[in-house]
Amino acid sequence: MQRDELALRASLMRAQSASKTPPFATSDEVGAVRHDTWNLPAVRAAAPLVIAFVAYFLAGKLGQATTSIRSSNLGPVWPAYGVALAAFLTYGYRVWPAIVISAFVVAVQGSVSAAAAAGQAVGATFAAMTGAFLLRRIPDFQPTLPRLRDALGLIFVGGFGSALISSVLGTLSLYATGVQAYAGLFSSWLIYWLGDSTGVLLITPLVFTIPQLQFPSTRRVVEFVALLTLLCGACFVLFGDAPMFPIRLPFAVFPFVLWGAIRFGIAGVTLSVLATAGIATVLTALGYGPFVGNTTFAEAVILDVLFIGLSLPGLVIAAVISERRQAERDRERLIREQAGMEARLHLAAIVESSEDAIWSQDLNGTIRSWNAAAERMFGYTAEEIIGRPVSMLLPANVRDEDRNTLEELRAGDRIIHRETTRTTKSDVPVNVSLTVSAMRDGAGALVGVAKIARDTSEQRKAREALSVVNRKLIEAQEAERSRIARELHDDICQRLALLSFDLSSDTPATTEDKERLRRRVADIATDVQALSHNLHAAKLDLLGLAAGCKRFCDEFAEKQKVTIRFEARDVPRRVPSDVSLCLYRILQEALHNAAKHSGDANFDVQLSGGRDVLELVVKDHGVGFDVNRAKLVPGIGLVSMQERVNLVGGDLAIESAPHKGASIHVRVPLPHPSANG
- Based on the domain organization, do 86 and 203 belong to the same domain? yes
- Based on the domain organization, do 488 and 569 belong to the same domain? no
Kindly report, residue by residue over 457-477, the tens digit of the pLDDT.
777 766 666 666 666 665 666
pLDDT at 30 over 80: no
- Based on the domain organization, do 543 and 506 belong to the same domain? no
- Could you say which of 487, 505, 535 is where a domain stops? 535
Mean pLDDT across the chain, nearest whole number?
81
Average pLDDT over residues 434-442: 87
- Based on the domain organization, do 411 and 274 belong to the same domain? no
| pTM confidence score | 0.55
Sign of torsion, CA 182 184 185 187? negative
Whole-number Å distance between alpha carbons of 375 and 385: 9
Neighbours of 517 (CB within 10 A): 14
The answer as to whether 38 is a domain residue is no
- Based on the domain organization, do 288 and 168 belong to the same domain? yes
CATH number of the domain where residue 587 is located: 3.30.565.10
Kindly report, residue by residue over 184-206, the tens digit of the pLDDT.
788 889 989 998 999 999 999 99
Kindly report, residue by residue over 262-315, the tens digit of the pLDDT.
988 898 899 999 898 888 888 888 888 777 777 878 888 888 888 888 889 989
Q: Which of 244-248, 285-289, 569-573 has the lowest mean pLDDT?
A: 244-248
- Based on the domain organization, do 79 and 160 belong to the same domain? yes
Report the number of distinct structural domains present in the chain: 5
- Based on the domain organization, do 488 and 516 belong to the same domain? yes
Whole-number Å distance between alpha carbons of 555 and 564: 10
The answer as to whether 331 is a domain residue is no
Long-range pairs for 120-123: beta carbons < 8 A, 24 or more residues apart: 120/73, 120/169, 120/170, 120/173, 120/174, 122/169, 122/173, 123/165, 123/166, 123/168, 123/169, 123/170, 123/173
The answer as to whether 348 is a domain residue is no
Structural domain harbouring 365: 355-455
pLDDT at 406 over 50: yes
pLDDT at 4 over 90: no
- Based on the domain organization, do 542 and 671 belong to the same domain? yes
Is residue 616 within 8 Å of residue 607, measured between CB atoms? yes
- Based on the domain organization, do 291 and 165 belong to the same domain? yes
Angle between helix 185-209 and 254-285 (nearest 10): 130
- Based on the domain organization, do 424 and 474 belong to the same domain? no
- Based on the domain organization, do 195 and 50 belong to the same domain? yes
The answer as to whether 349 is a domain residue is no
- Based on the domain organization, do 629 and 654 belong to the same domain? yes
